[in-house]
Structure 1
Amino acid sequence: MSRHSSTLSRHPLTAAVLTGMLLTSAVTAFAQDTGTTNLDKVTVTGSLIPQTEIETHTPVVTITAEDIQTRGFTSVADVLQQSSLTTGGLQGGQTSASFTQGAEAAGMFGLSPSYTKYLINGRPMLSYPALYNGGDTFNNISGIPIDIVERIEILPGGQSSLYGSDAIAGVVNIILKERMDGSVLNVRGGTYTEGGGSTFRVSGATGFNSADDRLNVLVNAQFESSNPIWGYQRDVTKTTNGKGYTAQVPTNDFLVVNPAAGNAYLMMDPNLCANVAGQFGGTTVLGTRAAGQSCGSIYSPGYKTVKNGKDSAQVYSSFTFDASDSLQLFGDVLYSYEDVKYATGSNYTWWGTASGYGRFWDQTSGQWMNLQRAFAPEDISANGYKDILNTDRNKAYQVTLGGRGTLGNWDYSASFTRGEYKLTERNFVRWADPINNYFEEHVLGPQLGTRSGYAVFAPNWDAFYAPIPAGDFATFTGYTESQSRTWQNLGRFQLTNGTLFSLPGGDAGFAVVAEAGSEGWDYTPDERLMDGSVWGTTAVAGAGHRSNYSLTSELRLPLLDSLTVTGSGRYDAFKIGDSTVDKATYSVGVEFRPIESLLFRGKYGTAFRAPSLSDAFQGLSGYYANGSTDYYRCGQLGYAPTDTTGCAYDSVSVFGQRAGNPDLEPITADVWNAGVVWAPLSNLSFSVDYYNWKIKNEVDTLSSDQLLLAEYYCRNGLVNNTSASCDNVNEWITRDASGVLDEIYTPKMNVASQNLQAITASAKYVQELGRFGALQFSTNYTNMIKRELQPQPGDEYLDLLRDPYNMWIYDSYAKVRADGSLAWALDKWTTTLYFNYVGKTPNYLAYAGNGYDYVHPSGAKAGKWGSYTTYNLSVNYRAAENMTFSVMVNNVFNKMPDNQASNYPGTSGTPYNNYFYNIYGRAVYVQAKYEFGGK
């Protein structure tokens, strides 16, 4: 088989980059000559054509297996979430009660995780069956066995002309090992010095090679178990905020309010909480706030997990078989199983009258009332919240079979991939009728009639302010089980010619790829979540499938020794429901090398995201649009839509429904980048790149205001420039016979636009120290220059970099991020110090006060939290030729976001930005790696 190798004198730019990758690969690499070297042409993420150049028109960030080990990364998710490109806040195990708490996500440049294309061995990952933030399709990156990762390549910027839909922010290609000579066993254990979260991981891999080396098989298995971290195991979250700008107060665990008096608190317990003093570990007391008194505990927020517990197992295998000199068969299979456990705490485990009764009249006191009763661990069982954990069970597989070979000067590859992802969510719930019946029987008593349409009761206050008797909690609680799945089929054929014809700068390269496939999504909640059987919780169903095909081509033209131009184009078509959505994308890249050590590069292209299955087929969900303006009826009274002050219909409440929309158009983007790479020495290189995005047709739910405004224009025969057409108005707005708004429908639509600008930079340096070994330094930096969002057509653009309110609402992200490492290799030792830097972010009061100038009456000021840096330290010792011991300490200085607490009120149970920071603290891991049976 032709491997297309070539011999060349390595110039300083290539040498600097390669040398920067050598330290973690092998300590002895520092002694190697950096002169003339044979370089094979290889295919890297960002091009279909094999080439020898390490730096091209497209920047690629590579994290090797050795980087993962020495920098203390514990998972693929950890690698990507700590990347300097990940400037946005994320939902996951650290954010209790998020929609996908059992999954891990990552994104780039603050854009949604769904805007990044994730690949495994160059093939698209399966979508996660549940929806990120309740409405967005994304990839769960937690089920990948990290010990078998060869490298992770991150390709920033729009890449749809090569990789199709979803590659607006960039592409991440997770490349697993294909071959192994011999076997390896890894055993790793660790814990957090603050408590909780202890982990144990064991993995083994072996390679089987035939005597003539025609058949190569790799098999890997990995098992990991980790305990959760509970809020009560960290000072920041074990109580309500004790360092806030208002006084610390207990939570409202036993609360009576008067909704007719501005929800003023009523203390109805003559014993002043004495009977419930044993709740929450004996910490429940009488609490006083401005609204009145209640019974509660400052410790109740601690009974939730802030890091999931998890048991997981993965099996991966790959093979290659040389059927002939010109044909190689290949295949791989990855199976993943995860059991993720978490608790949402008393903040989400309670009962109240507002949802079932609206309010009630207390016949004894003659007042309107609502009750709120949180459940303490003593109410649940001897083990408390540990006995009612939610469980997300993930099962996924992906199988690829194919062949590749050569026909003359052409290389070809054909493959078929099949994958399926199944999710079972076992969620703890309160049954609606049983819980209401229980409290009617034990607290409210029999209904004594009605008053103004509301129930009348004479509550038993001794029963309300009392623990739940043993066993009673189980009579009105239980579990639902929701099933969901995604599946994907993909056939792929590629032809490549690296020597299509000769040009002054070398051989032109050409590649063409044809793909066709199908994918589906089915989210089926437990029926009891849909029919009202569950108290305080509902769900949204959805199902659909789409088929697709695409054609991609790439042409690389080395016009001169110093100038190379690369162009690529792709056509994608998706059959979604009864519609076909298609999109053509292209890009043109330029590499200019005026001297061997200097590269100027740039690329312009288009990118897109096809309507996802959830965007098209998500089911109906209801809501109330309070404070809406009925522009049409105000217009009948003579009011213009620009000024409805004084109109009787300026603030109305209307019931609405929202759902997916199979008629959506693709999200589109124009993306370009330009940069420079400079290697003044063979052991030193720098790069700086600028990125620019203009994104249009983003999918969001049409606002009730836009729909009602469109109705005004349509009914009055005026020009309608809103996203809703006049046909939409007729179909989506319902009025009764007298003209009163009855119902509106606001499906997902292409309504939003974004403009982004960012700068990235990196540096690599290697210094040999003779008998003192060698040093390597590398760093990466990202700075968001511009981030503006237009939520709806015609709206003003929101400055998400300088407007703290919208920065929190839309993303919660950092403007600047950086990371880097300093490694020292000496004989059998390698020591690495890794740092991760988060720049200043707006504090809570800047969000709550809607500006950096806000000052709370207490004197607390809006502003920004200072920069946040953590350090990881690892030491690796090769005790024998086949044995390596490692010690890793992550977050060496036990950095916590506790300095953020002073900017939150004393009522907060999470006084830090948990979408961006965590409170895990220092972790210590030890690992032993044993290699045997190698040649």
Structure 2
Amino acid sequence: MRVKTLAQAIAAIGLLGSGFAHAAEDSQLERVTITGSNIKRIASQGALPVEVLKKEDIAKTGASTVVQLLETLTAVNGVTSGTDSNSFVPGAAHAGLRGMNDKYTLVLLNGRRLATYAQLESGTDAFTDLNTLPLSVIESVEILRDGASAIYGSDAVAGVINFKTKRNYQGVDTYARYGQTQAGDGKEQAAGVSAGVGDLDKDGYNLMVSFDAYHREPVFYSKHEAIKTRDFRRFGGADNRYLSTWGGWSTDPSSKPYYAMPYCQKSLVTKGNGSTICPIDYDQEDAQVSPRTSRYGLLTTLTRKLDADSQFYMELGFNQSNTALRGGNNFLNGVKLNPGDAAYPTDPKLISALQAQQPFTPGKDSITVYRGLNEGWGRDVDSTSNTYHAVFGYSTYYKDWDYDASVNFSGNNITNKNQSYLTSLTDSLQTGNPSGPTYNPFIHGNPASSLTPYQVLTTDTASTSLQALELKASKSELFQLPGGAAGFAAGIQWWRETLESIPSDYSQQGLVLNAGPQSYLNASHSIFAAYSELNLPVVKNLEVQLALRADHYNDFGNTINPKIAFTYRPLKEVMFRGSATSGFKAPSFSQLRLNRTAYDSVTDQALCDQQHVSNCTPTSTQIRSGGNPNLQPETNDSFSLGMVLQPIKDLYASVDFYRINQKNVINALDTDDVVNNPSKYPGAIVRKPAPAGQLGEIDYINTPYQNAGGLTTSGLDFDLSYSWSLGSFGKVKLENQHSRLLSYKDHKLASDPWLEEVDYAIQPRWKNVFTAEYSINKFSAGVTARSYAGYKDLTQASSSPRLLKGKPARIPSYTAFDVDFSVSPLKKLTVGGGIKNIGNRIPPYFINGQTPGTFSGSSTDLWGRTYYVNVNYKF
């Protein structure tokens, strides 16, 4: 390879996504594959809008996990950290780009796909679990903010996040980390070691082994001011303390409010819907906002030169993640007791206490009870996720062509152990407990023997696998054009994905209390793809990228996606770039084949209106959705146009506009839309029997999957950086990153009007991160300001404006500050640390959120001020 010639050819128009490329010596130039392209090029060149975070950049964020790192980036949204015990994917984490769902972002490790997590978000969406990627072994992260289905296939609609590990490393690198919140909880410890031997150029081989361990203790609601109680009236919100914590009863919940169970030792509180509760605060009962988590990872890479131009490479990785989620009490959800039932009140003292709250006729009136089972075990989940991957490959350079052949095996296995109750508990309230006393829902302190016969530890397992084969060839100098050498790449891929989900026998039979029946699923598909790419330096200052990819799925058919991109530099200091491409998102296995039952929080406004309830509260409602084998892939077209300025070496600025149009969007009907507009969805809402002319409570809602929706979004990404040399007094570096949504419109059905979601809670308009860093010799210190946009005090455009009655129209913006430092007292020793949310800032509370305790911004800001220290030593 004539490195110098290639460098001259590309340098005429080459720009890195985060700045101009500067001259380098031939000995420093290396051909690499940059995220978003299959053509090997000089490492310092490229015109793609790729944001690159190196290891030192990652350290300055103070992040201890991949998820926390991504939360600091303005283009990243919708982060799920794996801390919610009620999640479909307990313990797992994911994130999206450009305001879009995480399923539209492709996550790669060293440029290759990993098997998806073995459970699906919301029961439908496949994703790569970010918690299986140990941050300690990541050498850099590349975020491609551009559609890339023409390069990578499905999922790369909003962009690509590529995590890269060390390569050709020699020596021993150790690290340790400790951190905790100011409140004393959330203690985290991490340690790891990476060891490499052999220099690929000198010794003909390189072997590296890395091991890391991470552990974090729980973070408790009760220790943090913002979330220490679910009574959010101090923030202008509602009193969201639960009825079920103590329990409540009603003779007719369809028309009469619930009353707190007798014998409460506190003053009763009347909620907006008329119900009275015993104000026991679940958040003060050692509830966890973040669970106990342990992770262990092992990574081995081997590269062996076979001759001057050929090499064999291997990568083996294993990661285990253990998460202990504590999910509060199990509960009785609206169980109706009739006279003569075993748990129907007969004790005269209890009857008198009930009649003092609400008149009823013993032996005649039925009673419906809602009650937390606080005498028994909690709704806890112990989740273990094992992820592995193995890559074996051969690459060679022959007659100016790079050839590469690889096989990739990857998989994820999940075991969730759930503390559950059987539905026979509710039966026992009617028929009695044959092995002990019947549980009495009206009193507290029931004997354990009234509940233990119905407690069961259910085990759900699931696994995914990916087997892939790829053959590709590229040539950096295919032919000459006026602007330089044209580059070319082509290849074929085949891979097979499988998913097996095995709910416990109890779950499959629908015998778990407050859970719908879950179905067994064993599915697979295979994909064959062929792709090509051409980089054309048309003239000195203009380069064009052409790409084309064809994918064949054996379960739904074919899709072909082209891409065209360009860079144009009219002046040395100015560059324009842009792209136009089509893309697709394949339907998931569950969307195609699985009928599922879940629960969602639903506000039945129609029933509240009938009962003249002014403050309607959400209730847990069964949602039934069904697989549709006739689904087709979602399709999209996207367009981007940007400009980069670098008038001097130390000043860089860029702005990129993007627009994405997503068609044939697969969705289950939106439950809020179904409840608010029942006439649009006849038969979707199934209600319980009620007297003539009255609405019964919702029994369940049907939400089938369909290719009926649409989505279009556009926005701007801004980047600005300036380095200011102070001579012998050091250097100051200022950076600002800003992402702004211009529009985010969607509709659930083709006949629906487009709704603008920007400036609502689901899509705040902007996010900004400003960083100032001072460095001198072996010391650096910095401060980061993370700013989050305000938004309308409504969840989405379809939310009823009635929710704003008597409440602020907007949730304000807010800014949190982080500080960090790094010092190297010895040549091989680096000590760093910092404080996240140094101002102990409480994010604004979202008053109209349906989930109790919804705040703006980063979830970790709710933990308050957090300290951490890192130590790194290289041998």
Question: Would you say same fold, with TM above 0.5?
Answer: yes
- The match for 2:475 among 486, 497, 502 is 497
For residue 750 of structure 1, report the CA deviation from its aligned partner. 1.0
Deviations 1:708-743 (A, max 9, x none): xxxx9xxxxxxxxx999xxxx9xxxxxxxxxxxx99
Matches within 5 A, 1:887-926: 887-897=833-843, 899-900=844-845, 903=847, 909-910=852-853, 912=855, 918-926=861-869
SS in 1 for 2:868: strand
- The match for 1:424 among 383, 398, 415 is 415
Matches within 5 A, 1:251-650: 251-252=242-243, 253-259=246-252, 262-266=255-259, 269=262, 272-273=263-264, 277=265, 285-289=267-271, 291-299=274-282, 303-346=286-329, 349-354=330-335, 364=362, 366-376=364-374, 379-380=375-376, 389-434=380-425, 436-437=427-428, 441=432, 464-469=442-447, 472-538=450-516, 539-576=518-555, 580-621=556-597
Matches within 5 A, 1:488-887: 488-538=466-516, 539-576=518-555, 580-621=556-597, 658-701=625-668, 747-802=704-759, 804=760, 808=761, 812-843=762-793, 850-851=800-801, 855-856=804-805, 859-861=806-808, 863-887=809-833
CA 359–213 in structure 1, closer or farther in 2 if over 3 Å, else same: farther
Match of 2:613 in 1: none
Structure 2, unaligned runs of 5 or more: 346-360, 607-621, 684-698
2:794 and 2:803 in contact (8 A); partners too: no
Deviations 1:31-53 (A, max 9, x none): x9999996444321111123348
- Deviates most, 682-691 or 866-875: 866-875
Structure 1, unaligned runs of 5 or more: 22-31, 278-283, 447-458, 630-654, 713-721, 730-741
Larger RCO: 1 or 2 (CA < 8 Å, sep 6+): 1
Tell me whether 1:135 sits opposite 2:124 in the alignment.
Answer: yes
Deviations 1:808-841 (A, max 9, x none): 5xxx232101224222221111212223221113
SS in 2 for 1:354: strand
> Which whole-Å CA distance do the structure 1 matches of 2:788 and 2:339 have between them?
45
> Which whole-Å CA distance do the structure 1 matches of 2:286 and 2:519 have between them?
28
Tell me whether 1:150 sits opposite 2:117 in the alignment.
Answer: no
1:669 and 1:695 in contact (8 A); partners too: yes
For residue 926 of structure 1, report the CA deviation from its aligned partner. 1.4
> Which whole-Å CA distance do the structure 1 matches of 2:745 and 2:213 have between them?
44
Counterpart AA for 2:533 = E
Tell me whether 1:927 sits opposite 2:870 in the alignment.
Answer: yes
C-alpha RMSD of matched pairs (Å): 3.8
1:872 and 1:889 in contact (8 A); partners too: yes
Counterpart AA for 1:583 = T
SS in 2 for 1:80: helix
For residue 460 of structure 1, report the CA deviation from its aligned partner. 10
Match of 1:24 in 2: none
- Deviates most, 425-434 or 669-678: 425-434
SS in 2 for 1:518: strand
CA 292–315 in structure 1, closer or farther in 2 if over 3 Å, else same: closer
Deviations 1:211-255 (A, max 9, x none): 942010110000011111122222222222241547758532221
TM-score normalised by the chain length of structure 1: 0.80
> Which whole-Å CA distance do the structure 1 matches of 2:394 and 2:587 have between them?
32
Tell me whether 1:103 sits opposite 2:92 in the alignment.
Answer: yes
For residue 508 of structure 1, report the CA deviation from its aligned partner. 0.6
Matches within 5 A, 1:142-221: 142-209=131-198, 212-221=202-211
SS in 2 for 1:79: helix
How many percent identity over aligned positions?
22
Counterpart AA for 2:863 = Y
2:663 and 2:709 in contact (8 A); partners too: yes
SS in 2 for 1:51: strand
Matches within 5 A, 1:226-265: 226-241=216-231, 242-245=233-236, 248=239, 251-252=242-243, 253-259=246-252, 262-265=255-258
1:892 and 1:922 in contact (8 A); partners too: yes
Deviations 1:512-563 (A, max 9, x none): 0211110101111111012132111133432210011111111111011111
1:17 and 1:764 in contact (8 A); partners too: no
> Which whole-Å CA distance do the structure 1 matches of 2:755 and 2:647 have between them?
42
Match of 1:636 in 2: none
Deviations 1:26-79 (A, max 9, x none): xxxxxx999999644432111112334857553111111111112212121222
SS in 2 for 1:256: strand
Counterpart AA for 1:524 = I
Report the number of matched residues.
817
SS in 2 for 1:180: coil
1:75 and 1:146 in contact (8 A); partners too: yes
2:17 and 2:48 in contact (8 A); partners too: no
SS in 2 for 1:171: strand
For residue 599 of structure 1, report the CA deviation from its aligned partner. 0.5
Tell me whether 1:77 sits opposite 2:67 in the alignment.
Answer: yes
Match of 1:63 in 2: 53
- Deviates most, 842-851 or 324-333: 842-851
Counterpart AA for 1:603 = S
> Which whole-Å CA distance do the structure 2 matches of 1:867 and 1:324 have between them?
59
SS in 1 for 2:845: helix
TM-score normalised by the chain length of structure 2: 0.85
> Which whole-Å CA distance do the structure 1 matches of 2:8 and 2:818 have between them?
38
Match of 1:223 in 2: 213
2:803 and 2:848 in contact (8 A); partners too: no
Counterpart AA for 2:874 = E
> Which whole-Å CA distance do the structure 1 matches of 2:766 and 2:18 have between them?
27
1:96 and 1:304 in contact (8 A); partners too: no
For residue 850 of structure 1, report the CA deviation from its aligned partner. 2.8
Match of 2:615 in 1: none
2:17 and 2:46 in contact (8 A); partners too: no
1:285 and 1:297 in contact (8 A); partners too: no
Counterpart AA for 2:725 = E
> Which whole-Å CA distance do the structure 2 matches of 1:920 and 1:743 have between them?
36
> Which whole-Å CA distance do the structure 1 matches of 2:789 and 2:577 have between them?
28
Match of 2:616 in 1: none
SS in 1 for 2:815: strand
CA 831–916 in structure 1, closer or farther in 2 if over 3 Å, else same: closer
> Which whole-Å CA distance do the structure 1 matches of 2:101 and 2:18 have between them?
33
CA 838–479 in structure 1, closer or farther in 2 if over 3 Å, else same: same
> Which whole-Å CA distance do the structure 1 matches of 2:241 and 2:594 have between them?
40
Counterpart AA for 2:387 = A
> Which whole-Å CA distance do the structure 2 matches of 1:201 and 1:85 have between them?
28
> Which whole-Å CA distance do the structure 2 matches of 1:831 and 1:472 have between them?
60
- Deviates most, 110-119 or 294-303: 294-303
1:95 and 1:915 in contact (8 A); partners too: no
